[in-house]
Amino acid sequence: EDLQLVASPLFLQRKSLDSQKLYQNLVHEIMKTRNAVVKLVKAPEHMVRQKGSHVLQFALYDVERKGRVFFSEFSECLRAHGVVPKRMYIESFANGVVAYHCYLGPEYGPEQLQDLVKTLRYVSHFKHSPKRSALVWELVLKKQITPAQAVFFITAVKFIFTFFPKETAEYLTLADFTKANAEMKRKLDDLFLQTMSNAITFERIYDTLVSHYELACQMYDDFKKVAKGECEPFYNTALAEKIDDEVAHRLEAKILKTA
């Protein structure tokens, strides 16, 4: 998409042609993919004061025009990776694209910047809901888990909530005992549903995975091997035994083993 058609007159007036070219490439890519784009490019020498500087580009498509620009999340990523831009610009365009341009000095090594890029690629996938995905994002910022592991955590929460084995042996015994009495069976079912709705919540599952993130990361390793075709799907008996040994709370252990 032509930048001249979606940029404001003020933007076109104050940005050099070289700078406009950087934005043009970014806008074209994001309109083509409709996904967030993160790029790290060497800064043209005439645009910076120090050789070896880089330009960090981050852009997203605000399709609903709600102003969801992820400024706080972007700032958190910079702070977590110890990166302070020399200059930073945030631009919005008529087609819904919001673009960040950060000029970074040569003091930041390629490895440090690539780690930052990897984290930023996942920013738009998190809703940062308090007591839910925000807990997982906090682990990413502390570098205790990778962004890819964070996506696994969030997916695992939904899986656990859906497939958590709610019928225990005790419940099945009582259900069989009361099946001849419709009123008692109804009361038992009502009590069971009320108990489970209080015990198994998204918040409880998130809290369990985050509290035992090292065990959850081992589940991710197993999932990754299966997903890559390195092995057939399997039940990790050793990990299940480790969960029983290390997790004192019975419900939390059951939540982890459901994943």
- Residue 47: the pLDDT is 85
Same domain, yes or no: 34 and 88: yes
Tens of pLDDT, residue by residue over 34-78, are 888 999 999 888 888 888 899 999 998 876 666 567 888 888 889
Structure-token pair, residue 210: 């985050």
Pair (56, 151) in one structural domain = no
CATH number at residue 19: 3.30.70.260
Does 60 share its domain with 137? Answer: no
Report how far residue 257's alpha carbon sits from residue 259's, in angstroms, rounded to the nearest whole number.
5
Q: Are 103 and 149 in the same domain?
A: no
Residues 116 and 139 both lie in one domain: no
- Same domain? For 68 and 137 the reply is no
Q: How far apart are CA 239 and CA 245, in angstroms?
A: 10
Whether residue 137 sits in one domain with residue 86: no
pLDDT of residue 66: 63
58, 35 Cβ separation under 8 angstroms: no
pLDDT of residue 131: 76
* pTM for this model (two decimals): 0.69
- Domain ends where: 125, 148, 181? 125
Residue owning tokens 């205790």 = 144
Domain that holds residue 65: 3-125
- 232 within some domain: yes
Does 46 reside within a domain?
yes
Note whether 141 and 231 are same-domain residues.
Answer: yes
The dihedral built from the CA positions of residue 192, 198, 204 and 208, taken in this order, carries a sign that is negative
Q: Is residue 176 part of a domain?
A: no
Residue type, 107: E
Are 142 and 220 members of one domain? Answer: yes
Q: Which of 52, 32, 34, 33 is nearest to 42 (CA)?
A: 52
Which residues, other chains included, contact 118 with Cβ-Cβ below 8 Å and sequence gap of 6+?
Answer: 146, 147
pLDDT score for 4: 92
Residue segments in the chain with a per-residue pLDDT below the cut of 50: none
Do 47 and 68 belong to one domain? yes
Domain ends where: 66, 99, 125?
125
* Torsions phi, psi for 38 (to 5 deg): -125, 130
- Does 190 reside within a domain? no
Compute, in degrees rounded to 10, the torsion defined by CA atoms 194, 195, 197, 201: 160
Q: State the pairing for strand pair 87-92/37-42.
A: unpaired
